[in-house]
Amino acid sequence: MSSKSKVTRINQAICEKNLDRLCALGQTKEGFVNDGLRRLVWPLLLHGPTTATAKPISRTKHADEDQLALDVHRSSLPVSRNQGKRHRQREKSDISVVATQVLRANPDLHYYQGFHDVCATLASVLGSDPPFPVSTDAMEKDLEKVTANLDLLYPLIRQQDPKVAAFLLESGTPPYFALSWVITWFSHDIDRPASIVRLFDLFISSHPFMPLYLSAAVVMHHRQELLDSECDYPTLHTLLTHSVKGAVSEEVIDHAVTMIHQIPPSLLQDIASGKITTQSPVSRLTSYVRFLGPRLSRVLRSRSSHIFGSSVLLLLLAWALRPSLLSFLVTHPTGSSST
Amino acid sequence: MESLTGFDHIVKLLLVGNSAVGKSCLLLRFCDDAFTPSFITTIGIDFKVRTLEVDGKVVKVQLWDTAGQERFRTITRSYYRGAHGVLLVYDLTDKKSFEDLRGWADSVSMHAPSDAIGLIVGNKADEVGDRKVGAGDATALAEILGMKAVETSAKSASGVEGAFTMLVRDILIQREAKGESSGVKSRGARAADIQLAEADAEAKRMSSGCC
């Protein structure tokens, strides 16, 4: 598909508010192609078609606002490079507004260093208005969900490339080289703004586990370099943390998209379920719902086109998490939870 | 596994301290002799390496740079294991970063090997006009914690090479005293002269109950 015909198809899907089509287009080569289209598509996918009314913003200051302001002020952000001082100041102001709105709309969430990178990318395309319903698992009270997500990385790689997975495990390298990839959607690590927004096209269009799948694809893309390296932790950690600096190629993105269809997140969790011991079934269920957020209906609609409703939704989730629920029922016969 | 090819010693150092005290800038200066005025946010953990010659010995220094923000500590804590030395960094223009050093020292005593050597580093020594922590305060704290204290400026490079070299030298002296050779094999009993003031650490543990 040429860029021109893709632009036409994106415009058509925007007119029809066809979110499934837009998601499919965001996952293929070049994503949403240019920032003009992104300005139209991202709000649609972030808010959903019917979410016209944004969550009211509190006037009460969020506890983490001072830290946020400090980080934004002193940051050198990828979107700011090669641009004038005045432009940079305006961008920093936009980033502060975006991040502050998210925090004030969600007083129970926490700011983490790296979230300003995410907001920087959003603000670079959308400006500071309207507010964005964006939150990540790294904004929970601790990073338990993030580390549980990262614990799925090696099981995922093992499904596709057992030799690379075994090599990483043998070296004792924990999957923390991918921490900033996952919690900042690669925006902390990649230098090229064009590559970052392309990845945001992918993530906004995909299951919330997509950053994990892309991380796996990046690792496998560097297969030969890894296997040729010394099998020790510092060497491999350094190699991998620097591996995405320039950009992530369309080939790697395509691999991640293929992988998430071959091994869907629910299947991956089943495969690795023996390893996820830190999360109780209840918190996993909550996490799953929250992860999917406003895109849940679309994800489910694409799998079951004629059935809707929250009971069906819960049944599907229960099915996806059935091993955990079974173990939950066995270990919590009264149904109480300690989460 | 680690190889000693070309080196007499391998030394693993960890940098800890509050966010924005200049840990990553110290590493950038020490490893690449460079400085950036921009804030470098470390998310999780970063790693650098430099070869150093100390008293005729070629030492491969592995440096682990940790995120300062509280919410990354569950991850960074796992990196204390296996550290031979820890630089506890504060910003001498930011009093809170100094006051929080005791908490960092508690973390070190709890999670690092018992014979790991700590060094208190007051960074941003070039900003003399904004100084909020006197050198005497740092020295007094260092004595309580059984460590040394130095001041550095990653910006001007002042004191940076000396701080790292001093810590590496102390680690090598400790190894020699214990009859160890390279730092690759496991280390034995703690050295009494460098251990953290345990009673103090214990009291902190009781009061804070975390980290």
- Domain that residue A261 falls in: 144-331
How far apart are the CA of B143 and the nearest CA of chain A, in angstroms? Answer: 32
Of residues A64 and A298, more confidence is placed in A64
B199 secondary structure, DSSP code: H
With CB atoms and an 8 Å threshold, state whether B44 touches A179: yes
Q: Taking Cα atoms as reference points, which of A114, A323, A152 lies closest to residue B71?
A: A114
- Give me the tens of pLDDT residue by residue for chain B, a chain 211 residues long: 455 678 999 999 999 999 999 999 999 999 999 998 877 789 999 999 999 999 999 999 999 999 999 889 889 988 898 899 999 999 999 999 999 999 999 999 999 999 999 999 999 999 989 999 999 999 999 999 999 999 999 999 999 999 999 999 999 999 999 888 777 644 333 333 323 333 334 444 444 443 3
Q: What is the CATH number of the domain that holds A96?
A: 1.10.8.1310
How far apart are the CA of B62 and the nearest CA of chain A, in angstroms? Answer: 8
Residues A106 and A156 in one domain: no
Residues A177 and A82 in one domain: no
End-to-end CA gap in chain B = 30
Distance, CA of A304 to CA of A296 (rounded, Å): 12
Q: Within a domain: residue A176?
A: yes
Q: Taking Cα atoms as reference points, which of B196, B79, B147 lies closest to residue B204?
A: B196
Question: What is the predicted pLDDT for the residue at A92?
Answer: 78
With CB atoms and an 8 Å threshold, state whether B38 touches A75: yes
Distance, CA of B152 to CA of B50 (rounded, Å): 18
DSSP A138-184: GGSSSSHHHHHHHTTHHHHHHHH-HHHHHHHHHHT--GGGGHHHHHT
Q: Taking Cα atoms as reference points, which of B99, B42, B93 lies closest to residue B69?
A: B42
With CB atoms and an 8 Å threshold, state whether B71 touches A70: no
Question: Two tokens at B84?
Answer: 């031979």
Q: Within a domain: residue A139?
A: no
Chain A positions touching B97 (Cβ under 8 A) are none
Distance, CA of B17 to CA of B100 (rounded, Å): 8
Domain termination residue (choose one: A133, A153, A177): A133
Residues A97 and A184 in one domain: no
Name the domain count of chain A. Answer: 3
Residues A235 and A323 in one domain: yes
Residues A113 and A200 in one domain: no
Question: Two tokens at A114?
Answer: 């790296």
Question: Two tokens at A332?
Answer: 């919590």
Q: Within a domain: residue A223?
A: yes
A21 and A6 Cβ atoms separated by less than 8 Å? no
* Angstrom distances, CA of residue B41 to CA of A96, A129, B22, B108: 16, 26, 10, 22
pLDDT tens readout for residues A217-268? 999 999 999 999 999 998 999 999 999 988 899 999 999 999 999 999 999 9
B111 and B211 Cβ atoms separated by less than 8 Å? no
Chain A positions touching B1 (Cβ under 8 A) are 231-232
Q: Within a domain: residue A339?
A: no
Q: Taking Cα atoms as reference points, which of A173, A248, A253 lies closest to residue A210?
A: A253
**Which residues 102-131 of A are in CB contact (within 8 Å) with B?**
110, 112-114, 117
Question: Two tokens at A237?
Answer: 């950690």
Q: Within a domain: residue A23?
A: yes
Residues A14 and A76 in one domain: no
Question: What is the predicted pLDDT for the residue at A293?
Answer: 37
Q: Within a domain: residue A336?
A: no
Assigned fold of B9-181: Rossmann fold (3.40.50)
Indicate the angle between helix axes A153-160 and A265-272, nearest 10 degrees: 100
Where do the structural domains in chain B lie, given as residue ranges?
9-181
pLDDT tens readout for residues A284-326? 333 333 333 334 334 333 333 332 233 333 333 333 343 443 4
Residues A182 and A320 in one domain: yes
Chain B positions touching A142 (Cβ under 8 A) are 71, 74
Q: Within a domain: residue A248?
A: yes
With CB atoms and an 8 Å threshold, state whether A114 touches B19: no
Indicate the angle between helix axes A310-320 and A281-292, nearest 10 degrees: 130
Residues A16 and A117 in one domain: no
Residues A121 and A229 in one domain: no
* Angstrom distances, CA of residue B92 to CA of A75, B41, B128, B162, B164: 21, 19, 9, 18, 18
Residue B121 phi/psi, 5° resolution?
A: -125, 115
Residues A123 and A154 in one domain: no
Question: What is the predicted pLDDT for the residue at B205?
Answer: 44
Q: Within a domain: residue A165?
A: yes
How far apart are the CA of A75 and the nearest CA of chain B, in angstroms? Answer: 5
Q: What is the CATH number of the domain that holds A225?
A: 1.10.472.80
Mutation target to probe the B interface, by most B beta carbons within 10 A, among A110, A137, A176, A188 is A176
Of the listed ranges A68-82, A154-168, A315-329, the least confidently predicted one is A315-329
Residues A215 and A286 in one domain: yes
Residues A95 and A193 in one domain: no
With CB atoms and an 8 Å threshold, state whether A231 touches B1: yes
Chain B positions touching A176 (Cβ under 8 A) are 44-45, 75
Distance, CA of B4 to CA of B26 (rounded, Å): 26
Stated pTM of the model: 0.79
Residue A34, classed as helix, strand or coil, is coil
Contacts of B173 (CB under 8 A, 6+ apart): none
Neighbouring C-alpha atoms within 13 Å toward the C-beta of B144: 14
Distance, CA of A284 to CA of A291 (rounded, Å): 10
